[in-house]
Amino acid sequence: MKKNNRKGFTLIELLAVIIVLALILVFAIPAVLDTSSRAQKKTFTTYARKVLTLAQEYVEARKLDGASGKMAFDNVSESTDFSLGTNDTEYKVCVEYNPTAAVGEQYKLYMKNNTFYVAGATDANLKQSSAALSLDDSHRTTTPKKNTTNNTCSFS
């Protein structure tokens, strides 16, 4: 009697393995992509809070010199007034300061990069990652700019 000494897998076994791997990929890829997107949004929000904090520190230091009043900083990352400590030029920023506004509303941030933007966000807004919005068609071609007549910021 002949013994069957074949080594290897049957076609059914190979198909089962392929189906299991396909199912793993179907469920794993969206989860990984979602995690990556959330991390990018969190990074943008963290950077936005850093920008707002630096603007607040700059304004407070200027108050000691007797300067006060409504002011806006355009393209903060390229400003000679204060530095963000980064060479990242993908961020476009404008920070608005209004000392007569309610506490917590005195500083407003207008900022965007290639993926997210915030428009008129305050410090309280930026504590929530939902403050950063995905870049839409209406903001894709705009840049936060300082209005020199009234020292405010907007997207234009």
Q: What is the mean pLDDT of residues 17-21?
A: 94
Residue 79 pLDDT greater than 60, yes or no? no
Q: What residue spans define the domains of the chain?
A: 12-155
Burial 66-82 (b: 16+ CB within 10 A, else e): eeeeebbbbebbebeeb
Between 79 and 135, the more confident residue is: 135
Which residue did the predictor score with more confidence, 32 or 24? Answer: 24
Predicted local confidence at residue 90, as pLDDT: 77
Q: Which of 53, 110, 60 is nearest to 85 (CA)?
A: 53
Least confident of 7-11, 15-19, 78-82, 95-99: 78-82
